[in-house]
Amino acid sequence: MRGGRVKKPTIKGNLILMMTAVIWGVSFVSQRVGMEYIKPNTFNGIRTILGAVILVPFIFMRERMGKSRPSDGKSLLIGGIVCGSLLCAAGTLQTWGMVYTTSGKSGFITAMYMIFVPIIGLFAGKKIRAATAVGVVLAVVGMYMLSIGGADISVNKGDVMTLACAFIFAFHIMAVDRFSSEVDCVKLACLQFFVCGSINIILMFLFEHPDWALVRACAVPILYSGIMSCGVAYTLQIVGQQYAEPTTASIIMSLESVFAALAGWALLSETLTLTEALGCVLMFAAIIIVQLPQKKRE
């Protein structure tokens, strides 16, 4: 939220954001299971449309309560198209990557968007902090250990797809930051889900020819990803950030990578080698380091 009073961190806000991270972490498992039944565009198309539908009542509720931010129609439309298109590209790569890698790995690699954002900022004339540079180095080393830390020393193509997904997610974050200052954030989220879902549905009919019996068999992962990950978690994020500092919120929500690994272990019996586990630790350390506040000089 921009403007208004200074936020004071509270246990309430931190717990809400922690729940957001848990939901997003478990969502990696639902995507992994979903890929055993249907293809990426089918899965993402249905779940993002569902996520948009879930947000519609929330939008009307905010309107009635007078909490909805006045939005320029043109900016909302452009923002929804840009953010939705980027979300579609990133989500497709992430879900395809799930076919070849584990949910735990995918969670940590996807979280590298926090590293890519400041790097991309360099090309926009922004300086990179020393802490960010250290984080980038740790992330690269951690990514290497995570990707080739198993018995097979070749780079997994699923990891490469997920890394590309993280790169596009970085642009998505920058696009959201650009348009969220002009429009209501919940409306923007709803519209981007509709755009993302519509593109995926078109690609689904063009290239995937879904088997609706398999879609029904995949109902639980789709419902979880659509209702919980897209609809509920995004709403919790908005509520939680009203009670938490931005840096604190970013660090807590980045724990989705840890919960993804834990969920993969608990629900899918996924395991990590010692080298891969150390890679996860390095990558998570990098994520924390780049989110630490910069001390102001006198």
191-241 per-position pLDDT tens digit: 999 999 999 999 999 999 888 899 999 999 999 999 998 888 877 876 776
Q: Could you tell me which of 175, 246, 172, 190 has the C-alpha nearest to residue 63?
A: 190
DSSP class of residue 129 equals P
**Mean pLDDT taken over the chain:** 81
**Residue type at position 168:** I
Mean pLDDT of 240-263: 71
Alpha-carbon distances of 249 from 11, 19, 39, 78, 91, rounded to whole Å: 12, 12, 33, 27, 23
Residue 110 pLDDT > 90: no
42-71: b or e for each residue (b if 16 or more CB lie within 10 Å)?
bbbbbbbbbbbbbbeebeeebeeeeebeeb
For residue 201, the surrounding DSSP H or E stretch is helix 185-203
Task: Say what the pLDDT of residue 5 is.
Answer: 42
Q: Band the pLDDT of 69: cuts 50, 70, 90.
A: confident
Range with lowest mean pLDDT among 78-87, 119-128, 220-229: 119-128
pLDDT tens digits for range 288-298: 786 666 655 44
Q: Which sign, positive or negative, has the C-alpha torsion 218, 224, 227, 231?
A: negative
